[in-house]
Structure 1
Amino acid sequence: MSLAVEILNRYKAEGRMIATAESCTGGMVSAALTDIAGSSAVVERGFVTYTNLAKQQMLGVKAATLEAVGAVSEGVAREMASGALANSAAQVAVSITGIAGPGGSDHKPEGRVCFGIVTEAGYLHTETIEFGALGRDMVRAAARDHALALLLSAP
């Protein structure tokens, strides 16, 4: 059974819905879930917020946070997830912001991806994964899969 199918089965049984807030993955988490028939019982909505302006306008990410820590940060991932939850009817929201490549810098290298997950019950978790310079497609796929794993493990 695929990770996405496991998520859909679990959340449907629990009567919970999911919102996604994606930057570097451009909707891949939502796509992985909605590729499966019946996903409308679980997937409430997805936000693709590729630019800082979109993160601010659609999710309420603060300009001060972006200025202080940059878009690829746990602080922004936290605000993205919280904003997705607040701007949806979902009970769980997951966020992704990172540098898929090519490129990056010494300070924020290619393959660094920050994640956030929040539930209406008050659970909040953020983390940063260094996938490394695997190439754009591989970083994005790894980020998608990691976000799906976070959804499956959320309380």
Structure 2
Amino acid sequence: MDTIEEVAKFMRSESLLLVTAESCTAGLIAATLADIPGAGKLLDCAFVVYSPEAKKRCLSVKQSTMDRCNLTSEEIAQEMAEGALGNSRANVAVSNTGVVDDTDDDIPAGTQCFAWAFEAGTNGPAVFTETRRFMGDRVAIREASARYALERIPHYFAKLDESKPGK
């Protein structure tokens, strides 16, 4: 069975509804999930926010975070995920921001920052972040990033349970 199909099955079993906030994948995370039959019950919406202005306007990413952190940072990914979650009816958000080319002297090509945000009740969302580097051309990096973003949903969902009191 395809890994993305397994993720979709997991999402169905846990009643997860996804929103994506995508920069360099430009909607590919949502499109990858949409390839699965029945994805309409798993995907609420997708924000493609390539420019800094779109990140601020659509997802409420703070200018101060942009000034303090590189756009390819876990801090930006976290604000993107939280903004997407707040602007949808979804209960899980996945975001990514990164570089696929040698366009940033400080960050190697293929570097991707991700965030997974889960509705966790009155205390706000539970957010997990990580940075990975993928190799290949633009297409290969974007495809690997999209698949990775989806494949990690079950992993971080399990961490929600681990973080509850008494566990």
Is the TM value for this pair above 0.5? yes
Q: Structure 1 residue 124: deviation in Å?
A: 1.1
Normalised TM-score (structure 1): 0.93
CA contact (8 A) 1:24 1:97 kept: yes
The residue correspondences of 1:69-148 to structure 2 (distance < 5 A) are: 69-101=69-101, 103-121=102-120, 122-132=125-135, 134-148=136-150
CA deviations on 1:68-121 (whole Å, 9 max, x unpaired) are: 1121111100000111111110110000000011x2333112111100011001
The RMSD of aligned alpha carbons is 1.2
In structure 2, list runs of 5 or more residues that go unmatched: 158-167
The residue correspondences of 1:30-69 to structure 2 (distance < 5 A) are: 30-69=30-69
Larger Rg: 2
Determine the C-alpha separation between the residues in 1 that align with 2:100 and 2:6: 26
- Is structure 2 residue 17 aligned with structure 1 residue 17? yes
CA deviations on 1:114-134 (whole Å, 9 max, x unpaired) are: 0001100142111111224x2
Q: Where do 4+ consecutive residues of structure 1 move more than 3 Å?
A: none
1:33 alignment partner AA? L
In structure 1, list runs of 5 or more residues that go unmatched: none
Determine the C-alpha separation between the residues in 1 that align with 2:12 and 2:43: 10
Instruction: Tell me the number of residue pairs that the alignment of Structure 1 and Structure 2 aligns.
Output: 153
Determine the C-alpha separation between the residues in 1 that align with 2:52 and 2:88: 20
Percent identity of equivalent pairs: 38
